[in-house]
């Protein structure tokens, strides 16, 4: 489990779930042209025709971003591919969260979206994208749960929150953490940096 590097996180939309997915395509293309993230951006893929699918995907060398609509909930998902070989699992999880939140903030500020998009950082889904190293079984959940709790504590502090686990063994190992209050992207990023 400690060798797990293919991790992902999703922050859900508080506003903007009805923005047509195709509106994100020119934004992501411009980001590639202007090199607007800390990762090497490669291409954009349109999966808007797939119901409850990956939506619009922005492929990068280190990982992929998407305006994801899995399970009928739109949000920004980021998953790293095989990065951070020198970092421990907790540091990798925090880096994945930081990258996702940074892109959430950049999208919220996009003039083309005219303030119609806002993410709720008070709730996230963290998932393992490696079924071999992290099968969706109780022992893998128990091994990863302390690192998920550490991220939740960094974002929300000690206190009440609900953590649910994906129980279907056919699905990826996933945790949904829901804090008791709303949290904006800028505050969440500041807490991770503090």
**pLDDT band per the 50, 70, 90 thresholds, residue 85:** low
How far apart are alpha carbons 108 and 161 in whole angstroms? 25
pLDDT number for residue 89: 86
| Domain locations along the chain | 7-193
**How confident is the model over 163-191, as a mean pLDDT?**
92
C-alpha 151: how far from chain center = 13
pLDDT number for residue 83: 57
% of the chain beyond a pLDDT of 70 = 96
Identify the top-confidence range among 14-23, 77-86, 152-161.
Answer: 14-23
* Listed residue (91, 87, 75) closest to 147, CA to CA: 91
The angle subtended at Cα 95 by Cα 89 and Cα 101, nearest 5°, is: 140
**pLDDT band per the 50, 70, 90 thresholds, residue 74:** very high
CA-to-CA separations, 35 to 23, 43, 66, 81, 129, in angstroms, rounded: 19, 12, 17, 19, 26
pLDDT number for residue 82: 66
How far apart are alpha carbons 58 and 157 in whole angstroms? 31
**pLDDT band per the 50, 70, 90 thresholds, residue 181:** confident
**DSSP letter string over the chain?**
-TT---EEEEEEEEE-TTS-GGGHHHHHHHHHHHT-SSS-EEEEEEETTSTTS-EEEEEESSEEEEEE-GGG--EEEEEESS--TTS-HHHHHHHHHHHHHHHHHHHHT-GGGTT--EEEEEEEEEEE--TTTS-SSHHHHHHHHHHHHHHHHHHH-SS-EEEEE---TTSPPEEEEEESS---HHHHHHHHH-
* pLDDT tens digits, one per residue of 54-65: 999 999 988 999
Q: Which is more confident, 105 or 160?
A: 105
Residues 55 and 66: beta-carbon distance below 8 Å: yes
How far apart are alpha carbons 105 and 96 in whole angstroms? 14
Residues 66 and 56: beta-carbon distance below 8 Å: yes
The pLDDT of residue 180 is above 60: yes
């Amino acid at each position: 489990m400690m060798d797990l590097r293919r991790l992902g996180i999703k922050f859900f939309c508080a506003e903007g779930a009805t923005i047509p997915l195709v509106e994100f395509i020119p934004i992501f293309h411009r980001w590639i042209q202007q090199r607007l993230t800390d990762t090497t951006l490669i291409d954009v893929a349109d999966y808007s025709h797939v119901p409850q699918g990956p939506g619009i995907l922005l492929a990068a060398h280190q990982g992929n971003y998407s305006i994801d609509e899995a399970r009928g909930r739109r949000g920004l998902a980021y998953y790293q591919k095989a990065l951070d070989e020198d970092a421990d699992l907790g540091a990798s999880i925090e880096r994945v969260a930081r990258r996702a939140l940074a892109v959430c903030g950049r999208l919220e500020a996009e003039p083309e979206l005219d303030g119609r998009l806002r993410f709720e950082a008070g709730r996230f889904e963290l998932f393992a994208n490696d079924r071999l190293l992290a099968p969706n079984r109780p022992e893998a959940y128990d091994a990863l749960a302390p690192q998920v709790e550490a991220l939740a504590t960094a974002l929300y502090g000690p206190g009440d929150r609900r953590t649910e686990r994906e129980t279907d063994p056919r699905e990826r190992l996933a945790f949904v953490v829901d804090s008791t209050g709303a949290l904006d992207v800028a505050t969440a990023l500041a807490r991770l940096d503090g």
